[in-house]
Amino acid sequence: MSALLEIDNLSLRFGGVRAVQGLSFTVNEREILGLIGPNGAGKSTVFNLIDGIYPPDEGRVIFAGRDITGEKPYRVVRHGIARTHQIVQPLVGMSVLENCMVGACFGFQNQSLRRGRETAREVLSLVGLADRADSPASQLTIAGKKRLELARALCASPMLLLLDEVLAGLNPSEVERMIEMIRGIRERGVAILMIEHLMQAIMSLSDRIVVLNTGQKLAEGLPAEVAHNKSVIEAYLGDPNMVAKLGADRNGADQPGAAP
Amino acid sequence: MFGILASIVDGLLIGSVYGMAAMGLTLIWGVMNVVNLTHGAMIVAGMFALFLISGQLGISPYTAVPPVAVAGFGAGVLIYWLSVHRMIGRPPLMSLLSTFSVNMVLIGLGTALWGTALFNIEVSLPGISFGDYTFPGTHLMAAALTGLIAVLLFLFLQKTRSGKAIRAVAGNREAAELVGIPTTRVLALAFGLGVALACVSGALIATMFPFTVLSGNAYQLKSFVVTILGGLGNPAGAFLGGIALGLIEGLATPFMPVSWTSIIEFVVFVLVLIAFPRGLFNFTFRRS
Amino acid sequence: MAPLNFIRQPFFWVIVAVTAAFVALPLWHYDVGWRESLVLAAVYIILASNLNLMIGYAGYVNFGSIVFFGLGGYVGVFLITDYGWPPALAALAAGAVVSVLALVLGLGILRLHGFYFALATIGVNQAVQAFVSNFKPWGGASGIYISISAYQALGGPRQALWTIYFLLVGVMALSLLLSYGIKSSKFGLGLLAIGQNESAASVLGVPTPLYKALAYSVSAFLPAVAGCLYFFKSAFVQPVDAFDLGFSTEAVVMVMLGGQGTVAGPAIGAFLYEELRGWLLTSATFSNFQLVIAGVILLIIVTFAPGGLMGLLRRLWPKTRKILE
């Protein structure tokens, strides 16, 4: 598998705080890479750096062989990256369908209004929102808004999807559903970089994991390796169930309390 | 050469009044994230209030300043309830338009009552002379009073309970509510205070220069320029910014016609903002 | 394909009907009074509809939109009096010049957000007004006067006034069609997204700086054309009228009153406001209170009905959504 996204020695400072420091990792084609770490580790900042919302102080972001460091968000999308936000940002005055059309018409595929509408309808039925297509986006539940956020990103038909805590705030059955959708997206050939706090989910979904702490890479490797990594466990210290969570079987079997 | 120096010093004196006006604006902005577009109208209100109070009661204009401040505070609280209270938490466009509408009403009433006639307040106060140049007593008095008020405001915000409550709400409204601070009352208080500052600065300007109902516009513009350049929600910065603006005007007035100063200020302001969209004193700090 | 689709929408025919009314009514009465009040209504509708592109679509409040109208008036009248251009051509040229200037200016000031942008638009108007007042080739503070001879080419003053009226009605129809067309286009989708949430729109791929500048530029074109025609009709153009900030303030009220973001809203708001204003001016008690009444209306709308009349209408009768955009 060739590298689709390369993060090379990325650093960013906010005032006196080093949000991200000397970070490097790659995301390969058709891979699901999980990005985990305690709160404030800098995970969302990494997304903002890739997306061009903040230009980095140092380092490069290379996508599909092209250096896209610091490019504006609307250009980054044109290269084939789409993202969802941790705090959902639906375009509230518009309908669900119109929200998705924005993604289709201005995203990677840059479609016409008519093609965009078709794409939007397809994606909406994929995520199960087809019946709400004409409702105002403001009327959706949190789960619905999360699905809309995902659908909107998918409408761009990206090569790489950045998911920022898509599972947060969902009940167990909604989580299941979302996990299935994410697997389905990967089947379709889209690479995924996902931030998540739900340990079982991300451990079972990811091909590889990168662990971040205070803006630096703490560990990288297969989920099972990372779960046994001492410094990772230490970083998460304070959560007595963390060891068990990190030790969950790669196939997603729930084993709370099982020894690693 | 000395003439320019005198002009600069005079500019500093007048600038302190700009600073006080800007403090009122930045206080409101910092505490509740609302741009008070009635600011200019309230400066004019202060001018006319001083004119009426000192004229009707036959007292010295400076004695009339405290009543103007009190009236300004009351008016501010009223404006808060009328047009700002419901806009808290709504998109900023709404509070912009609601305060703007109150401004339209006030200026409309003003022009209906007084037209565009020029008014003047006679103040006989001896100035201080240095050779050929005299610094008008009114300018000196105004600067002294604004200095005093600035210190009082500082003490109020730092030392009193109400002042601390205002600072708490400015920092984090939800947290302040959780701690039991009556946020709505605090917001009304802060707004009233901001408007009172505008009225008093208008009153002091009236002691120095003649005025019309439409004078507020130029001073409102100066207040906005100063506020944004000095840093939003930063009263100390606003005060210093006002003095700085006075300094710049003092440097410029010997060389150009007065009608151009507003335009120049404005153009410089827009250019600075385009270069530093977050304001001059904010460009080192990036928020996450 | 797109124009044909247009013709099938009921709202297109609403626009046609309104335009027809504007054309037919003064002709049927053959009354100058009718024409004069409708001319003002048409101008207000032009200003409000184009302003809506910024306020209602892109979400940027432009307090100084009158600058396009005034500058268009100056450029056009100047071309007519000093170079002998025919009015229609001068109007088009004025539109082109002003919208190009707006594009360049827009790329700069649209980097400012919310209130800063609003303040900057006022400044632009004031700066242009000050400049024009001191610009000798354009008559400085006295302005430019148009001699009778300029109207001969159109068949004399009386005939010319009617021709100008119909041209203005044409510009009004174009303004409404433009608003409608943009709303149904990909450009419009992007603009509306920007108006909803600019940073989200940017992350979704909408080229925000370009789109905003284009909206600003497009919103300048027809008002500039109208400015040229209007001042040609008035026979003179002066800085104090051409750049009257009160006028663009009223345009903001019209947009909010009718319902920002819709196509019919600003037109309805403009028409109602113009009627109200006309009534106020003739009423002895209220003639000074124009601005006061406008302020009260704006306050009520913003506090209780931010969607304006169209917002209320659509909430009460959802069927109207289909017909009235």
Report the C-alpha gap between B27 and B25 in whole angstroms: 5
Looking up tokens 């018409």 gives A105
Same domain for A195 and A249, yes or no, is yes
pLDDT tops 80 at residue B268: no
CB B206 within 8 A of CB B224: no
Spell out which residues of chain C touch residue B92, defining contact as CB-CB under 8 Å: 114-115
| Partner-chain contact C298 B108, CB within 8 Å | no
Nearest alpha-carbon partner for B259 in B217, B208, B198: B217
CB A177 within 8 A of CB A130: no
- Choosing among A44, A87, A91, A111, which should be mutated to test the C contact, i.e. which has the most C CBs within 10 A? A91
Spell out which residues of chain A touch residue B287, defining contact as CB-CB under 8 Å: 14
Q: pLDDT at position B55, please?
A: 84
Enter the tokens of residue C67.
């600058």
Spell out which residues of chain C touch residue B106, defining contact as CB-CB under 8 Å: 295
- C260 reaches A (C-beta below 8 A): no
Q: pLDDT at position A251, please?
A: 42
Task: For residue A238, give its domain range.
Answer: 1-73+159-166+190-260
- A153 to each of A81, B160, C2, how far by Cα in Å? 9, 51, 27
Report the C-alpha gap between C207 and A74 in whole angstroms: 6
By Cβ distance, the residue of A78, A107, A113 closest to C185 is A113
Enter the tokens of residue B185.
């009352």
End-to-end CA distance of chain A: 30
Given a contact as 3+ CB pairs under 8 Å, which chains touch C?
Answer: A, B
Looking at residues A100-114, what average pLDDT do you find? 92
Q: pLDDT at position B178, please?
A: 86
Kindly state whether residue A182 falls inside one of the protein's structural domains. Answer: no
CB C6 within 8 A of CB C181: yes
By Cβ distance, the residue of C195, C197, C203 closest to A73 is C203
- B260 to each of B256, C88, C239, how far by Cα in Å? 7, 35, 16
pLDDT tens-place string over residues B136-146: 888 888 999 99
Q: pLDDT at position B1, please?
A: 66
CB A148 within 8 A of CB A100: yes
pLDDT tops 60 at residue A259: no
- C240 reaches B (C-beta below 8 A): no
Q: How far is C247 from chain B (nearest CA, A)?
A: 12
Q: How far is C262 from chain A (nearest CA, A)?
A: 12
Nearest alpha-carbon partner for B220 in C245, C56, C243: C245
What is the SS3 string spanning chain C? CHHHHHHHCHHHHHHHHHHHHHHHHHHHHCCHHHHHHHHHHHHHHHHHHHHHHHHHHHCCCCCCCHHHHHHHHHHHHHHHHHHCCCHHHHHHHHHHHHHHHHHHHHHHHCCCCHHHHHHHHHHHHHHHHHHHHCCHHHCHHHCEECCHHHHHHHCCHHHHHHHHHHHHHHHHHHHHHHHHHHHCCHHHHHHHHHHHCHHHHHHCCCCHHHHHHHHHHHHHHHHHHHHHHHHHHHCEECHHHHCCHHHHHHHHHHHHHHCCCCCHHHHHHHHHHHHHHHHHHHCCCCHHHHHHHHHHHHHHHHHHCCCHHHHHHHHHCCCHHHHCC
Closest chain B residue by Cα to residue A45: B288
What mean pLDDT value characterizes chain A? 87
Q: What is the dihedral of CA B226, B227, B231, B235, to 10 degrees?
A: 110
Q: pLDDT at position C1, please?
A: 41
Q: H helices then E strands: how many in chain A?
A: 10, 10
- In single-letter form, the type of residue at position A224 comes to A
Q: How confident is the model at residue B285 (pLDDT cuts 50, 70, 90)?
A: very low
- B288 to each of A46, C30, C203, C253, C310, how far by Cα in Å? 12, 65, 16, 36, 39
Q: How far is C82 from chain B (nearest CA, A)?
A: 29
- C141 reaches B (C-beta below 8 A): no
| Cα angle: B6, vertex B10, B13; to 5 degrees | 145
Report the C-alpha gap between C197 and B161 in whole angstroms: 38
| Partner-chain contact B35 C115, CB within 8 Å | yes
Q: Domains in chain C, ordered, with CATH?
A: 3-322 (1.10.3470)
Kindly state whether residue A137 falls inside one of the protein's structural domains. Answer: yes
| Partner-chain contact B287 A45, CB within 8 Å | no
Residues in chain C: 325
Kindly state whether residue A111 falls inside one of the protein's structural domains. Answer: yes
Q: pLDDT at position B286, please?
A: 30
Report the C-alpha gap between C62 and C248 in whole angstroms: 9
Q: Mean pLDDT in each 10-residue stretch from start to end of chain C (325 residues)? A: 64 86 83 84 95 93 94 94 90 96 91 81 86 86 85 82 92 94 94 92 94 96 96 91 87 91 91 85 69 88 88 82 70
Same domain for A56 and A107, yes or no, is no
Kindly state whether residue A176 falls inside one of the protein's structural domains. Answer: no
- A105 reaches C (C-beta below 8 A): yes
pLDDT tens-place string over residues B152-199: 998 998 899 989 999 888 888 888 888 888 889 999 999 999 999 999
Given a contact as 3+ CB pairs under 8 Å, which chains touch B?
Answer: A, C
Residues in chain B: 288
Q: How far is A21 from chain B (nearest CA, A)?
A: 15
By Cβ distance, the residue of C256, C296, C303 closest to B105 is C296
Tally of domains in chain A? 2
Looking up tokens 């439409």 gives B214
Pairing between strand A58-63 and A3-14? Answer: antiparallel
Kindly state whether residue A180 falls inside one of the protein's structural domains. Answer: no
pLDDT tops 70 at residue A70: yes
- C308 reaches A (C-beta below 8 A): no
Spell out which residues of chain C touch residue B269, defining contact as CB-CB under 8 Å: 123
**Global pTM value:** 0.85
Given a contact as 3+ CB pairs under 8 Å, which chains touch A?
Answer: B, C
Report the C-alpha gap between B20 and B227 in whole angstroms: 10
pLDDT tens-place string over residues B10-69: 888 889 999 999 999 999 988 888 889 999 999 999 999 999 998 888 888 888 899 999
- A101 reaches C (C-beta below 8 A): yes
Spell out which residues of chain C touch residue B28, defining contact as CB-CB under 8 Å: none
Looking at residues A207-235, what average pLDDT do you find? 87
End-to-end CA distance of chain B: 49
CATH number, domain at A54? 3.40.50.300
In degrees and rounded to multiples of 5, residue C265 shows phi and psi of: -50, -60
Report the C-alpha gap between C181 and C135 in whole angstroms: 38
Q: How far is C172 from chain A (nearest CA, A)?
A: 27
What mean pLDDT value characterizes chain B? 85
pLDDT tops 70 at residue B259: no
Pairing between strand B133-135 and A191-195? Answer: unpaired
- C5 reaches A (C-beta below 8 A): no
- A138 reaches C (C-beta below 8 A): no
Q: How confident is the model at residue A244 (pLDDT cuts 50, 70, 90)?
A: low
Residues 144-203 of C with CB under 8 A from A: 184-186, 189-190, 192-193, 195-197, 199-203
Residue ranges of the alpha helices (H) in A60-198? 73-79, 96-106, 113-127, 142-154, 172-187
Q: Report ipTM for this prediction.
A: 0.85
- C25 reaches B (C-beta below 8 A): no
Same domain for A54 and A92, yes or no, is no
- C306 reaches A (C-beta below 8 A): no
* Whole-number CA gyration radius for chain C: 19
Enter the tokens of residue B66.
């405290």
Q: Return the number of other C-beta atoms located less than 10 Å from residue A152's C-beta.
A: 32
Q: pLDDT at position B282, please?
A: 46
- C123 reaches B (C-beta below 8 A): yes
Which residue ranges make up each domain of chain B?
Answer: 2-106+135-275
Residues 34-53 of B with CB under 8 A from C: 35
- In single-letter form, the type of residue at position C277 comes to R
